[in-house]
Each structure stands twice: as structure tokens, then as C-alpha cells.
Amino acid sequence: MGLSGMAALPRTLAAIAISVGGLALFLVFGSWLLISHPIGSTLHGYFLGIDRSAKSKLGPSLLGFENSTRIVLPSNVTNVSVGSVASNFGNGGEGFGDSLNFTSKVRRFSPSPPSENSSKVYSDEVDPVEAALPSMVMPKNSSVDDSEIFASYEVGELRAQQGGCDLYQGSWFYDSSGPLYTNNTCPSITQTQNCQGNGRPDKDYENWRWKPSRCDLPRFDAKKFFELMRGKTLAFIGDSVARNQMESMLCILWQLKGPPNRRMNPIPISPCNSKNRGNRRMQRWFFKSASVTIVRIWSSWLVHKTSEPFSFAPAGVVKLHLDLPDEDFMGFLPSFDVVVISSGHWFAKESVYVLNNEIVGGQLWWPDKTRPKKIDSIEAFGISVETILAAMATHPNYTGLTIVRSYSPDHYEGGAWNTGGSCTGKVKPALLEREMVENGFTNIMHEKQVMGFNRAVKKATNRSRLKLMDITKAFGYRHDGHPGPYRSLDPNKKTKRGPNGQPPPQDCLHWCMPGPVDTWNELVLEIMRREFEGNKNSE
């Protein structure tokens, strides 16, 4: 090698060193850029199991809000066509007519995107969180900041990529072990829900159980229930469907055997003499060995009602003061530790709506067709939900757990209960979503209930807790679980369709016992367990 080659060698090494250094700087800068931007967050989350994009949208870390007011919001919302309400509720439903001009204010998610021709009845009042929690419904124009919103969700039940278990997303499976009780082992079944006792020939509807997608829903453990509720009171408040659930709870608890091998028979406490439409306004049952009281309070609308004349509404027709809670049970509220509350179906009945001391609407009643209604029955229901839950969440002496059971779907197909609707012949669940019959009225009532719930949560001031037990979509699949025509012991009752195809009189609203309604109480127990013991073993 000549002298010129020797002289060139240092320059070559210097060039290589400069190139390597430049490449290193490029890699360092590129890595920083990836980590600092969305694609970097995605990759970082993929390798480390952390979704930083979700964290940035939601604000503070999960563990910072464990003692906050905690709620769970549903995801089972599908687009609702206004016209479907009329066709699904009494073929146009007397009393709805001009009251069908409503607008849906909550967007529901469906497995597939809506078609371009589908009815879009959204408003900007409520909008879902986009990527991190795709199944939550959140206020879009809320004055509450992100950290406050995030504080209102329970850690173990977030519908996020955090691995938590959503109890209300799942499927039904056949469980050959059978129901928790039989119609012969429980003396508290109302005859109209005693499907086997009334001659229903099939029994498989008793054996289907609900399975959340990411965890198990344990079979009801009566011992665990009494352990959690020792010395406490559980109240079911609402209409006849609430009574249906209360009787299911009694039937389940009745099966537990205590020493000496005797059933845990509850002691009935004399109910109040006051009655409503033939229903006892209050029933109380006491399990002495566990010091647990079960209460049922009849409240068909959950708000204050009167039959006295008001403004241009005469005596006799029920006036609902939508901004006042039902005082019949609010006075008992401080003595309750857990309240399961539900309503909705009575808003199809005749009533007058009063808001701010003014008549603003009516259902099956409106004397002056030239006078416009300000609200319809669906809006009235949403207002009532906000009223009663806000009253409970601000009651100065109530510290209990309020479980709001969402709107219970009925399964009248081909019409309403009084216009030829039927669930006759349904012997198994709809196992696929396409097998379900869309019920626009159920969907919109559910939406209004969720909106009322959300607004009430924002008003909470006491130490009570609000939880939404969102059973509406899951139970949309259970068209097989109703009494149908098997509502009585009458040996001559009609159970088959007539010569012209007309269905027999039937009940497609309440639930057979045993049957799907027992799942509601398994969910109640799981919510109580999570609330009283934390979320361990819930995933």
C-alpha cells in the first residue's frame, strides 16, 4: 500500500464513524417519535399491555377513584326508528298517535353499522366515548371534566381494554343442572307466574343460564347472600314485574336449609292495609336466623300521583307529578340497605303528566286536541327516572346501595298485549341476534331510562351508591320465558291459536317462575358482592 492509501485510511474510518453516529441519532429520534405519538402509544401498549391512548382520554389512573360514586352504563343500544314504536306498541297504540314525535337522544351500538337508509334519530345531548370505552354513553356537552366523568365508573366493570368483566354482555347457555327451585318447592309464587302449575308442557326454558363474555356469573349462593345481608334490609320497589323479582328472591332463599335440616322459612310481617289496584302496597318478610328483611313496596310510576282534580284535568284520572318522588316509600328509604328499583310499563296506562305545577301531557287522555302536548309518555318516563333516582341520591339520611334494574322487555309479536300480540310457541331463547324481534318501544324506553339515570348520578350528594343493572338486551333474547297462555289453573283455558290464527289471551310481559327472572337475582347478588367485598374474582 502506498503513502496515498495510508493517508486515505483515516478519512475512511472517520466517514464510517460519522455514518454510524448519524444512523444512531436517527434511530434514537425515530424511537422517541413513535413513543410520543399515537402509533407509538399503540405499539407501546401492544408490547407492554398498556393502552396509553385510552388513559390519555380518560384522565387519571384507575386506582384513584375507587371510593367515588360508581355506576355502570349499558352498551346494548341499537338505532330506533320512530315508526317502529307505533307498529310494535299496539299497531299504532291508542294514546300515542300524536305523541310519537319524539327524538332519541342516546345512540345505541349494534354489531354492524347502520345502513344509509336507517333512521337516525340522534341529538347532540348524549354521545358515546369513541375509542377507549366504545360501549359507554357519556354526555357530550357536559360541564363535568374528564376526570370527574371517569371517577363515576366502577373499576371492575369498565367496558375498556382493562380486562374487567361486563356482566351484561354475554350469551345464554343450556345448563342441565336445572333451576334453583321448582314450582313445588316454593310457596310464594303468584299463580299467574306458576307456569308449570298452570300446565305449560315444556320445561327447557327453566334451564338456560346467562354467561358474561369475560367471566362467570355464579349460581345464586344463599349462604353468601345471608352473609352479606346479615342485619340488613333489601327492598324491591316498583310494579308487578318488581314483585315478580321479589318472589323469585324469596323462592331462591327458601331453598337454603339450616339446622336441623329445615328450610330458611321467612316470617311474613303483616302488610300495610293500604292497597293499590288490588296489590298490597307493602309486604315484608323476615329471615330470623340471619336477621335479614325482604321488603316489597308497590309504586307503579315511582313519582307522586293523585286522582284529585287539577287544572283542566277532572277527578278520577291519575295525575303524575313528574318532578316529585313517590312519598309512599321515600319515608322508608333510610331503613333500607339495598334497594332494587324498576318501573316503566305503567307509562302505557291512562295518566296526566304534571311538571312544574303545569299539565304538560297525557297518556290515553287529552281532552283538547287543539292544545299541543309538551311531552309524551316516553319523555315522561325519562323525567320520572331522573326524579326518583336524584331524590334517592340526595336524601340526607339514605346511605344504601340502589340497583336500578333496566327496562324489562316484553315479547308480544305481531301486535301489543291487546291487539293480537303473542309469544305462544316460544320454547327456547333466541340464540342469535337476527332471531330477535326488534321492539322499538322497549329500545326507546331503555334509552330514556339510561338518560334519567345519568342525570341523577350528576346530582348525587349523599353517600348512597347508584348501580345500573342493565338486563334489557340480554333478556331481549328470552321470548321463551313468559307465561304466555299458561296464566291460570283453568282447565278450559285456551292455549292454542284459533281457526283464523288468532292467539289465545296471554302474558308476554311477566316471567315464569322458575325461569329467566331468577337470573336477575343472581346479578343482584353479584353486584352486592362486588360492592361489599370489592371486585376480586370478578374477572
DSSP label at residue 510: S
Residue of 411, 446, 479, 510 marked catalytic: 510
State the catalytic residue, choosing from 68, 84, 240, 335: 240
Which DSSP string do the residues of 469-501 spell out, in sequence order? E--HHHHHT-TTSS-BT--S--TT---S--TTS
Whether 510 is a known active-site residue: answer yes
Active site residue 37: no
- Which residues are CB-neighbours of 5 under 8 A, at least 6 positions away? none
DSSP track, 4-45: HHHHHHHHHHHHHHHHHHHHHHHHHHHHHHHHHSHHHHHHHH
Q: Which of the residues 326, 337, 376, 507 is marked catalytic? A: 507
3 state DSSP class of 138: strand
SS3 category, 424: coil
Nearest to 190 by CA among 115, 138, 240, 252: 240
CB 60 within 8 A of CB 147: yes
C-alpha cell at 221: 349462593
DSSP state of 350: S
Residue 395 among the catalytic residues: no
All residues at 6 or more sequence positions from 501 whose CB lies less than 8 Å from its CB, including other chains: none
Q: Report how far residue 421's alpha carbon sits from residue 415's, in angstroms, rounded to the nearest whole number.
A: 4
Give the integer Cα–Cα distance in Å for 381 and 85: 15
Among 509, 465, 512, 459, CA closest to 486: 512
Closest CA to 310 of 351, 277, 364: 351
Q: In whole angstroms, what is the distance from residue 375 CA to residue 390 CA?
A: 20
As a whole number of Å, the CA-based R_g of the chain is 28
CA–CA distance, 447 with 285 (Å, rounded to integer): 34
Residue 529 CA: distances (Å) to CA of 160, 168, 221, 231: 21, 16, 11, 16
Which active-site residues does the annotation give? Answer: 240, 507, 510
